[in-house]
Structure 1
Amino acid sequence: MASFNRRDFLKNGTALAAGLSLFGSASTSLMAADKKPLYSVSLAEWSLHRAIKAGKINHLDFAKITKNDFDIDAVEYVNQFFKDQAKDTKYLTEMKNRAEGEGVKSLLIMIDGEGALGDADDAKRTQAIENHYKWVEAAKFLGCHSIRVNASSTSNYEESQKLAADGLGRLTEFGTEHGIGIIVENHGGLSSNGAWLSGVMKLVDNKNCGTLPDFGNFALNRERDEWYDRYIGVRQLMPYAKAVSAKSHDFDESGEEINTDYYNMMKIVVDAGYNGYVGIEYEGANLSEPEGIKATKALLDRVRDELAG
């Protein structure tokens, strides 16, 4: 298992990414020459979680706010903001109509709180799988391509890979029946180890099961300040990526995110052949949520122009 002290991980990761930026430049130039956008930008609902939880924003207005306030035309929902409406056809119809009315695409639903798909207890693992069924069906109804899940487990490295692969594989079978992908985010613990999670993907071995690499969720153990190198991790997860999460917290005076070198990170993403949506997920405290979203979008837009140039 590769682990890094936080003091070292930016230095090591940036150095690696700088080297990677020279690799695969031909593929980037080719995509730019074709005049296709290297990637599009979407908005993860978690970027507005404080305002939603405080009642300042209604979940049903998320698509409208995304389009009108941020000029973004695609959204990624979070299940906890409509956790009791997964089977409420009337509510889901309202969500769908509002998004379509704004010309906004519904991409995916991020799922939490439905049990561990890699639980060592067979019955609990099966229950967790079945708990996700309603969200697969809701995603299908809304016109999403996937649900984002977690590959959490409590066993050792190799055994937990097998357990997570079993849970994900079985859920993917259900998702495939509904035309919905199952994608896994690096989200703490072993799932934040890029080698571990990419190994799980190899075990599942199903094109409808993939990853959602998150730039910032590489904490192996926060108490011990142990982190997996984010640049290595994203590179390991990109071959399976069906979505990408552009995590952001703080920015310097020039508009650069201080924790992640966005140019080199997006170079890794683009050079992997990915040209889909990159979801803004702002979690900072120094800027307001709207300001943080706008700062992240401006950075992603600028980096895209730089990469295309």
Structure 2
Amino acid sequence: MSIDRRQFIGGAAAAALGAGAAVGAENGRGGKVGKSKSVNAKGAGLMSGRGNPIAISTYSFWRFKEGLKLPIEQCIEEAAEMGFDGVEILHMQMESEKTSYLNKLKKTALVNGVDLCGMSTHQGFVSPDEEKRQRNIDHTIKCIELAYELGIPCIRINTGTWGTSESFDELMENRGIEEPLEGYTDEDAFPWVIGSIEECLKVAEKRGVVLGLENHWGLGRTPEGVLRIVNAIDSEYLGVLTDTGNFLEDPYDKIVKMAPQTVFMQAKTYFGGGLWYTLDLDYDRIAKIMKESGYKGYISLEFEGQADYKEAIPKSLELLRGAFS
């Protein structure tokens, strides 16, 4: 009997994202296009008794702050000591791509009892320059191979932006809205992004690494943009990576749209005030949305505040445990 795509990807996502025990804690706040494609089994009745496993991105320790680029080994050790179930590696934070270094990271995770559950990568496919797109395809494929060697089942990918902002600070001042290059529109960019991701998926499918397209500016600034791309591509190895902090207005209705196809979630907190902005996110409400969609996978903390991480990260873990347990 054949297995249709919906059945396959639901099973694949649940298996790939693993399992982790979660215990309850305190409640609080932290900081149509195309065909339908549901990754998660709908309905809270289909949820198991455990809560979502809680991971942390190594970005949370660094936040691109000068002098705080901690070695990933240290991030893994501190995450384990704080009580996280998994670690999501920021590719830009890696000190090497040599096999010896990757093996060291795997061993560090093993002896500390945490999963390497995700990798956040950076790429940009929003460009009329075919050579530039190909460089970003090649970079993404390299990251897929790194994730495969590390045993990581999912990587974060972006659409990229037009690059017409002078800096990321300016992009944030404009609420993530950016003018296209002269002579082009966003409609021109969708085929570039779709074609580029399809090239990357040739390797992702071979390696069994799921690509999670994040709502991360560019064409991914809206749920409609993310879903238009994901729904246009017929692959069990492409899903949505939902970031709770990248919808700057009306996040809950937008998360509802993304939830059924989510394969990985990043959850932002902003203790001490945000680096670029601060959102008052209701994680009880977000957890209810994800539970009702049937999402069982990882919630990966991206702490993006000004507070000392040694105090803010444990508070963030407590917050997420309370909401998602």
TM-score (norm 2): 0.74
In structure 1, list runs of 5 or more residues that go unmatched.
1-25, 219-226
Displacement after TM superposition at 1:55 (Å): 5.0
Give the equivalent residue in structure 2 for 1:235: 256
Whether contact under 8 Å (2:245, 2:279) holds in the other structure is: no
**Structure 2 residue 110 is the aligned partner of structure 1 residue 100:** yes
Aligned 1:250-269 pairs, distance under 5 A: 250=271, 259-269=280-290
Superimposed CA distance per residue, residues 81-120 of structure 1 (whole angstroms, 9 cap, x where no aligned partner): 11x522x0111111111111111110111012xx412332
Q: Flag as ranges the 4+ runs of structure 1 deviating above 3 A.
A: 50-53
Is the partner of 2:243 in helix, strand or coil? coil
Is the partner of 1:243 in helix, strand or coil? strand
Could you tell me how far apart the structure 1 residues matched to 2:185 and 2:226 are?
13
Is the partner of 2:43 in helix, strand or coil? helix
Evaluate the alpha carbon distance shift between residue 80 and residue 258 of structure 1 in structure 2; reply closer, same or farther with a 3 A threshold. Answer: closer
**Structure 2 residue 73 is the aligned partner of structure 1 residue 73:** no
Q: Taking CA–CA contacts closer than 8 Å with sequence separation of 6 or more, which of the two structures ends up with the larger relative contact order?
A: 2
Could you tell me how far apart the structure 1 residues matched to 2:193 and 2:69 are?
37
**Structure 2 residue 312 is the aligned partner of structure 1 residue 292:** yes
Displacement after TM superposition at 1:262 (Å): 0.9
What is the aligned counterpart of 1:28 among 44, 60, 67? 44
Is the partner of 2:116 in helix, strand or coil? strand
Whether contact under 8 Å (2:86, 2:116) holds in the other structure is: yes
Could you tell me how far apart the structure 2 residues matched to 1:46 and 1:40 are?
18
Identity over aligned residues, as a percent? Answer: 24
Give the equivalent residue in structure 2 for 1:167: 196
Evaluate the alpha carbon distance shift between residue 118 and residue 296 of structure 1 in structure 2; reply closer, same or farther with a 3 A threshold. Answer: same
**Structure 2 residue 139 is the aligned partner of structure 1 residue 118:** no
Superimposed CA distance per residue, residues 228-267 of structure 1 (whole angstroms, 9 cap, x where no aligned partner): 4311222222222110011111489xxxx96111111111
Give the equivalent residue in structure 2 for 1:142: 150
In structure 2, list runs of 5 or more residues that go unmatched.
1-41, 163-183
Whether contact under 8 Å (1:215, 1:234) holds in the other structure is: yes
Whether contact under 8 Å (1:153, 1:160) holds in the other structure is: no
Could you tell me how far apart the structure 1 residues matched to 2:279 and 2:187 are?
34
Higher helix share: 1
Is the partner of 1:247 in helix, strand or coil? strand
Whether contact under 8 Å (2:62, 2:69) holds in the other structure is: no
User: How many residues in Structure 1 have an aligned counterpart in Structure 2?
Assistant: 259
Superimposed CA distance per residue, residues 70-90 of structure 1 (whole angstroms, 9 cap, x where no aligned partner): 1112000001111x522x011
Evaluate the alpha carbon distance shift between residue 51 and residue 103 of structure 1 in structure 2; reply closer, same or farther with a 3 A threshold. Answer: farther
Evaluate the alpha carbon distance shift between residue 250 and residue 55 of structure 1 in structure 2; reply closer, same or farther with a 3 A threshold. Answer: closer
**Structure 2 residue 55 is the aligned partner of structure 1 residue 42:** yes
> Over aligned residue pairs, what C-alpha RMSD do you find?
2.3
Could you tell me how far apart the structure 2 residues matched to 1:57 and 1:247 are?
19
Evaluate the alpha carbon distance shift between residue 65 and residue 52 of structure 1 in structure 2; reply closer, same or farther with a 3 A threshold. Answer: farther
Superimposed CA distance per residue, residues 41-78 of structure 1 (whole angstroms, 9 cap, x where no aligned partner): 1111111015985157322222111101x111200000
Give the equivalent residue in structure 2 for 1:190: 219
